Each structure stands twice: as C-alpha cells, then as structure tokens.
C-alpha cells in the first residue's frame, strides 16, 4: 500500500487532482460532442462531475450522472462497453505518460446532499436548533 492512499488519512495529491480535472474536461467534451456511437449514449445527456485518480495515476474513477437521473444502469453499461474507445479519445486530448484505465460509477453526491438537506429540515433537528444556547 502506498503512503498516499486514502486510508492513510491523506487526501489526493495536487497531481492527482490536476490529472483528474484534465480527464474530466476531456471526457465531458467527448460525451457532449456525441463522438461515441452507441444508441444509449446518443439519446442521453451525461455530466461528469468528478474524476478521481489513484496515486499512481494508472486508474481513473469517472463519476457520471445522466440528466434527470434516468436510465442509470444502461448508461453505465454503455460507458463500460465503450471504455476502450473513450480511453483512445482521451489519449488524443490529454498528454500523459500512461492513459489510465477508466471505471465508471454513478455520482451519488447529489443524493447525499439531498439527504443532508432533508435531515436539516426535519422537525427533530429544527427543534434542537431552536433551543437557546447555554453559553449566551
């Protein structure tokens, strides 16, 4: 296990963040232009909110979300099916020593944000927030 692993308490390095952002932009552009000839991806608008890199920059987890959150499984399957083509397209757009292997996952951050909003608006939390502080 490397010293920069997430389990060691350290976050991603500047290099991981920079490479991930370059790949995110390039992947978004490829998907937006409709360069992938796949019937599922032809009819879907897919956003790429984040790409996370492993410390060795050999693997990229591409978090994606279809507009409206519909047909998620079909879109992930289509992206996985076209992984080799997408990797080749990214190699033309981003100069790296090695083009990382791509893995596609659904971005769950929107769901998590909604869950937190619902918790904050719940009667139990509102009641606790309305209590006067003992420190005043």
Digit-coded pLDDT (tens) for 25-49: 999 999 888 888 888 888 888 888 9
Q: Is 20 exposed, middle or buried (0-12, 13-18, 19+ CB in 10 A)?
A: buried
Q: What is the pLDDT of residue 20?
A: 92
What is the topology classification, in CATH, of domain 11-130? GMP Synthetase; Chain A, domain 3 (3.30.300)
Average pLDDT over residues 45-70: 89
Cα 116 to Cα 110: distance, rounded to the nearest angstrom: 10
Domains of the chain: which residue ranges?
11-130
The answer to whether residue 82 scores a pLDDT higher than 80 is: yes
DSSP state of 132: P
Cα 136 to Cα 129: distance, rounded to the nearest angstrom: 14
Q: What is the pLDDT of residue 4?
A: 41
- Do the beta carbons of residue 22 and residue 42 sit within 8 Å? no
Taking the model in full, what pTM does it have?
A: 0.72
pLDDT in tens, 100-116: 999 999 887 766 666 77
Counting residues of the chain whose pLDDT is more than 70, the rounded percentage is 85
> For residue 101, what are the β-bridge partners?
59
Q: What is the pLDDT of residue 58?
A: 92
């Amino acid at each position: 296990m490397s010293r920069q692993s997430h389990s060691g308490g350290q976050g991603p390095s500047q290099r991981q963040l920079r490479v991930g952002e370059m790949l995110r932009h390039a992947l978004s552009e490829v998907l937006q232009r409709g360069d992938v000839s796949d019937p599922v991806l032809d009819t879907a608008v897919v956003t790429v909110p984040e790409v996370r890199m492993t410390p060795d920059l050999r693997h990229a987890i591409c978090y994606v979300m279809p507009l409206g959150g519909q047909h998620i499984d079909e879109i992930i399957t289509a992206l996985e099916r076209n992984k080799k083509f997408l990797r080749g397209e990214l190699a033309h757009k981003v100069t790296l020593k090695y083009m990382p292997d791509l893995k596609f996952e659904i971005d769950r951050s929107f769901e998590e944000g909604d869950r937190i909003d619902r918790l904050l608006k719940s009667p139990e939390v509102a009641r606790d927030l309305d209590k006067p502080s003992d420190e005043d």
